Amino acid sequence: MLPEARRRAILSHLAQVSSDTIVDLAKRFHISTMTIRRDLKILQDAGYVTMSHGGAIYNGDTFQQNETHHIERATIRAAEKRAIGQYAAANFVEDDDVLFLDSGTTVRAIVPYLSDRRNLTVASNSIRTIDALHRHLPDSAIFCTGGMLSPAAQTFVGPVAERFFEDFFAKKAIVSGIGFTIQTGLADSQMLDTAVKKAMSRSAEATIVIIDSSKIGYTAMVQVLQSPQIRTLVTDDGISEADRRAIIDSGINLHIAPLVIPD
């Protein structure tokens, strides 16, 4: 079983039984306890489980158990998202930064790598991202936008969420989407969430786009940012040479995060 499929299966199992031990999970899925721990850490970073001594607890009280789409988003291409998150945290986030983070799973992958930063102020419209920030950055200033709750996505959207960013300013907004091309720019499929991303970008000194390489060359219904608005784009090293050249030729500062797949 491929790692992404296995993590979805682990999460589905935990959703049914509420909790299980690492030893029993390893036996059930015929893998080592080390691999189970690694899978659970990925799921914990995504906000779906809480690791305890010797086991894991499904966060059923926090997230709906029927969110198959978001489970898949959090686990698909997890290694690439971790690589991008680690690279972005190391190269674009400094002590004392004020950050806006959008609701995407790729953006949320940054959070575990921020724990050594001091005096951060971070705002997001995502309940999952806020939860991850609380777990990894308990001493930082964390702001949630408020607004109309989108139950499936666990994000705040609408005019209240958008107005939040009229009153607050950040050094950096870090945003993502489900597609990017030179012609159409960064795009997403959710109109209300996209409006919040745009508001974040307008109120930040710099906007950093992070997107895994599988989404490059594809577009979606709603434009988040035009290509000329994008100064910096971070992706993983699965990007094709043709896409790499095209992005650089367009004037975008391209950063490629090296992918290290654990054994």
Q: Domain spans of the chain?
A: 3-75, 78-257
Could you list the mean pLDDT of each consecutive 10-residue stretch along the chain, which spans 263 residues? 84 79 92 93 83 81 44 65 94 97 93 94 95 92 94 89 95 96 93 95 97 92 94 96 96 92 48
What are phi and psi for residue 160, nearest 5 degrees? -65, -45
pLDDT of residue 63: 40
Give the fold, CATH level 3, of 78-257. Rossmann fold (3.40.50)
Q: 117 Cβ partners below 8 Å, 6+ apart?
A: 89, 93, 94, 95, 97, 137, 140
Q: Residue 108: enclosing H or E segment and its boundaries?
A: helix 105-108
pLDDT of residue 225: 96
Distance CA 175, CA 147 (A): 19
- For residue 158, the 8-state DSSP code is S
Tokens of 236: 């993983």
SS3 of residue 117 by DSSP: coil
- Residue given tokens 């992706």 in the structure block: 235
Contact between 101 and 26 (Cβ < 8 Å): no
pLDDT of residue 64: 42
pLDDT of residue 261: 52
Distance CA 52, CA 19 (A): 10
pLDDT of residue 126: 95
Distance CA 74, CA 115 (A): 20
Q: 141 Cβ partners below 8 Å, 6+ apart?
A: 120, 121, 122
Determine the CATH number of domain 3-75: 1.10.10.10
Distance CA 147, CA 138 (A): 23
pLDDT of residue 68: 46
Of the candidates 213, 125, 140, 211, the one whose C-alpha atom is nearest the C-alpha of residue 175 is 211
Give the burial class of 104: count Cβ atoms within 10 A of its Cβ; 0-12 exposed, 13-18 middle, 19 or more buried: buried
Taking the chain, what is the end-to-end CA distance rounded to the nearest angstrom?
14
Distance CA 206, CA 199 (A): 13
